[in-house]
Structure 1
Amino acid sequence: MCHLYSLTAYFFLSFLLFLSYFLALSLALFYLSFSLCKICMKFTSSIISLSRSYVHCKWIPMQILQKDERSQLKLRNFHSRTEDERLDSECCVSYRSHLFKRAYEYLVKWCSLPYADATWELTQDVDKDKVSEFKRLHTQPMFLKNLVRTPCFTVDHPRPPQKFWEKLEGPWKGRDGLTLRDYQLEGVNWLIFNWYHRQNCILADEMGLGKTIQSIALLSEMHSAGVQGPFLVIVPLSTLGNWVREFSTWTHLYTVVYHGSKASRQVIEEYEIFLRNNGQIIPGMCKFDVLLTTYEMVLLMPPAFRHIKWRCTIVDEAHRLKGKGCKLGTNLSNLTQEFKVLLTGTPLQNSLEELFSLLNFLEPEQFDSEESFIQQYGNIETKEQVQKLQLLLKPLMLRRLKEDVEKDLKPKEETIIEVELTDLQKKYYRAILERNWGFLKQNKSGQLPNLINILMELRKCCNHPFLVQGAEEVIVSQLRTTLDPLSPDFSLQCLVQSAGKLVLLDKLLPKLKHGGHKVLIFSQMVRMLDILEDYVSHKGYIYERIDGQVAGDRRQEAIDRFSKPDSQHFLFLICTRAGGQGINLTAADTCIIYDSDWNPQNDLQVNGALTNDL
């Protein structure tokens, strides 16, 4: 009996131990799944596992989440957002049959999410309009089984002969009845003429005249003429979202955006690029009409892209190709390209060497010697030499200015304001110029500016002395004697009183705000944008910001929020190099260039952002 009791007790204790382990594991899994949940919507919240899409969210009352301490941080983060998460599907990428459920699944690309987050969804869980659009773009020919493809690629149509060229008359109508302006239609005719006559070209209209729309219309006309891709369009990251929107607004071309992380690019390469038969790539056959990508992605393109015969290549802001040994130009030259179009509002910036780089990319056989080109046109001094260069460029380049094509435009006013340095700036400016280490190392941390590039340090000092390494600590301690350190706006006054430009800006912005203006502020330095962001936050202005650290889709979302008719956004802080090329910010009427670029052409690009909607 004793043995029986001990055996019973052993099994009973074992059962209790197993039950305790099971409960502990269940609680751990519950906590882990809860930590991976995502809160969305405005007054209610939804919970979603990271392995599934947003359509499988579950609604949970706000009262329940407010009682759970672990949800408080998620709730605060949610309420700090300016907009709700979008749960809409963007497009269907591929499909497959479900073995167990005897149904079809679609690979869905979701709005605001990269391709890496695409999920397989059953037909009933996908927007019917997206499924219909997918079936329209991906029909299956009767003679090829298990192959998803666009019917236009069944035959490789050659470029039409020159004799078939006809000038487009009347208003050119795009999708939903949109029409081009007369001068834009003239530009499209010029592009099509060059295409028929096998002449690569440069569309060099001034910023804001609609080079994007004209080039999209060119691809649409090529598609209608039987040459239905593939087309390659390379743009700056800051304009990628706008190009996507313009393609969807003006045409029905199947456009794929090749951009994102390595995982996203792998999804694109597997499902969006090449036609496959039983899983094997069919050489020379592509699923898309237009591949839209950025400069950086061109450098990361896989070798398989070199085997594609690109019927047309368009490079936006093509002055990026300037300079010897440009990696972008080298990589593009390795591609098979039938027709090339360069878009730039500033074809000639600093020297004729840069112009030669563009011409050499367009016609490497005609412009093969830079030395010979510079010898002929490098020292233009007479009217005859200018006319000779114009005669050379006439068949290759179309250049028009706003005042030539738009007579109703209001004249743009430009004011240059000379600002005096504050006393603090003058002291630091003199110390940097004289390499006065005793003055510069007054801070307790021992930080010193790098005086290898004195010109850059002087420029920082002129923008704001806080940009000088170690200066902020010393300046704030000095201002404690002249300003009230207990004042709630002490930090704001330190920012403003330290820099002459910010003193002027502090006087100017309230007047612009009162007058109902919307303002763009450009700066070359990201750290200067940080200081300006601190300033506008203290002042309570509603603003947006774009710099090199802001992802492409977030840039377009920021532009959209700023450009809404009922938007309360007053300011847009922009890094000149990251967001100064080709963006459309026509909602603003005032542009402040906080610090000018060494290259004045970049400042012209910035000014073009205000009138980029023609």
Structure 2
Amino acid sequence: MKVSPNEPFQLIYTLFDHQYLGYLFESFVIQLDSEGRLTFSHQNISAKNAKEFASGLDDNDYELIKIMDSMQPDIVVKHFEKKKIKADDFFLKVFDPKTGDETKQEQIIAHVERRRSKIMPLLKGKRLFEMGNDGEPAWKEIEILKEEASVLFHFRRNEDNTHYFPTIKYQDEKVDFQYKGAYILCNDPAYIVIENKLYSFQKNVDANKLKPFLNKKFIAIPRKIEDNYYRKFVAPLVASFDVYAKGFDIKTEKYELEPTLYFSELASNGGQVATDLFGNQTNSNTLELEEAKILFELKFQYGKHKYKADHSQEVNVHVENEDDEYTFYRIKRDLSKENKYLKFLQETGMPLKSSQSTVPLGQAFSWINESKKFLEDAGIKLIQNGKNIKKYFLGKSEMTVEIKENIDWFDVHAIVKFGDFEIPFKIIRNYILKNIKEIELPNGEIAVIPDAWFEQYSELMAFSNEGSLEELQLQKHHISLVKELTDSNLAQMSLKGKLQKLNDFDKIDDFEIPEGFKGELRPYQKAGYNWMRFLRSYNLGGCLADDMGLGKTVQTLTLLQSIHGEQDAGTSLLVMPTSLIYNWEKEAEKFTPNLRILNYTGVKRNKDVTLFSQYDLVLTSYGIVRQDIDLFEKFHFNYIILDESQVIKNPESIISKCVRELHSSSKLILTGTPIENTTLDLWSQMSFVNPGLLGTKSFFKKQYQIPIEKRKDEDKTKKLYSLINPFLLRRNKSQVATDLPEKIESVRYCTMSPEQEEAYEKVKSAYRDKIMKEIESGGLGKSQFMILQGLTKLRQIANHPMLADETYEGDSGKLEDISFMLDNAINKHHKILVFSQFVKHLKIVAQYLDEQKIKYAYLDGSTKDRQQQVENFQNDESIQVFLISLKAGGLGLNLTKAEYVFLLDPWWNPAIEAQAIDRAHRIGQQNKVFTYRFITKNTVEEKIMLLQQNKKQLATDLITTEESFVKNLSKADLVGLLD
């Protein structure tokens, strides 16, 4: 029968006993009569329709209805069984006495019990009924008592056994509950119905302690199991509840809290053997020193009783039996004070989990040294735990370091103390280098070397060498380390001579440009020259790592001119990739024409190294050094300079090992990419110019490479930078922008590969014979087509023989140089325009980019989405290269994002080259534009460029096409081109 929410009604809760789930609850609304009494008109309500009766419900009612809904049998089935099944069938199956699922039974009972425990406290102030057998929801009302009852547990010990039973009191009146049909509604905490009254209890009594006595007067505990029962069952009761005992005593005691932090070494799985001061093996247990751990454990002591910090209960009970007389001692603990100690330890950096913390050995003793005074002030005892073990030293550890200037190095002196014991500095250095953290003192105690010493002095220990009996020596190139130690108050420094000036690294003298240098240096280039001269005055090596196009070559030539302008300067060696030999020759011819230069390359080179002394500068390649290392290592050079020094980035490569066998007074390396793959690239190169600067390879990997690359350790990055900073000069375009002109143009001379040179000579000979015969028979004018055809063929081969012969399978020197320069610029996140008048040449470069998975934009005469390609290059940061054919890209393009322009082949008309450059260098361009012309030496390309320079005015005024260029060639010009 429906209940009208518009008429008076009453919300009630009804309980009924389910065969498998125990007591369940349902919610009903019952219509009231005119006297306010319950009628037989009732209706079950759920969360779905509860709002219809909102006028008679409060927040607790909505929560109760929601929980009661969730424990109905059909809802419980849906929670545990995904398949569709009737509730009765499900329970019959799961709770079958023989084949039932006991694990699922426990899960279901616990699921329902959790909901009962949430319902019980919400029922206060509500009306609760037992449901009748006929489903009548308001059959019998249960009074919900407002106050909590108390339970007193009784124990009576006699000669045969101990009787145990509970008594219940409500409002100081004993409640008779045995043999009264009482039943448990909820187990934890206990709720019990006695004679239609619902009781709850103080101290969260567990109903299992009452259940056995609903129909039993007492339980008898036999003497034979008495001791175990007292300790495991009675003692917890005495700790948590009111207990009346007869036949044994219960005493409550209160003591002052004494916190103690114990520490002990965890057993290790073996490893390095501990040693004494002099490296002798001791009798200490073997331990894996890098993995050794210290276990800290906090305990609270009350009188003679100790408790782990995680066992936090207000009362602990200890049972003592003396002459068959039992006494239960109740120890009251101060949990508030215990929590303060736990919080204090957490604030000092020792967070405890389950009263314990496991800390690496060095870190543990660093914490002890830092916190010992705080622990004492807070009243926390620190005690080493365990017997028959090594005893750790807990006194003060200190190291004072003094660095003094010597003739050309630093002397390092240190005093190391553990308490009253002074330890030789060299022994501590040896321990730190070997990562040994424990050292036995003369009194037998084990001192732990602080972690801070490993961190603060590891470089000092690794970079220094043994000097006198008590001192170490540090090379002068470690001046930045010395400065860092003194600035951090980790060492005292005493400098007064030459090395004091080296310490003032920021104050570099200004050196005069040497006589004989033909050119001008931009301000930043002059600063680079001053820096190289400064390092030379200390015989220190350096790495000039300026960005591509900033003039590393001209700065180096200025240095070489200044050196070899001196008397008896000796000979310097410049090593580079083969393709750069000609570039260096041309640049030296331009800027330092007075330098005597030997090109030590080629199969016909004179291998008499005594001839080197007749020259100021020997130019050679890495390949030649590798082949002739047995000759090179016999000669002592003034300077050894490596160009594109990333070639030796792999310290295990043959060329890296070879260049380290060379001898010189000074060293310099040049590279635009000091780090290509890993920081080990830097170690290899910097260790060449200043051996020992970054320690051994293994030390560098552990100290810098792994922390920087794997853990992104910023402190290690800064430390590494401070070490190399005096010896690495790097400027990028943005840093020196104001010193640069708007456009910077350079020529990159390329050397043909052997197969390419063979193809070129073959075609050149054939066309030279044909052209000369035509000129003799018909004159120069009638031979122009043949001349143009032949010159075009030679130009194609100078780029890549595949342009002229698709069956060609060899390589190209120019493509190798283009690839190198592209990779260099791309790695520096620059954008590059690549121009060629040969579409086939662009396709070859495109194939290389595809193989390297480098994205690019492309434009030639067949390109349909011309504007889209431009926008891709301008707006997409991932596209750094734009390949453009001369005819398609000569006009109408605005490519202001480009910083580099590569002209892959020289054009007859310089104006067209300028036009291509202006695709990048125009209004809106904020970058300085670097232009590189790739010219294959000893080919028609190089000779065309010379002719352009000789006929510059003519080219400006008249030459607009290849045909017009050919028309203005004389027979002598032509002979020169085909020579």
Q: What TM-score do you get using the length of structure 2 for normalisation?
A: 0.27
Q: Say which structure, 1 or 2, has more relative contact order (CA 8 Å, 6+ apart).
A: 1
TM-score normalised to structure 1 length: 0.41
Q: Report which of the two has the higher share of helix.
A: 1
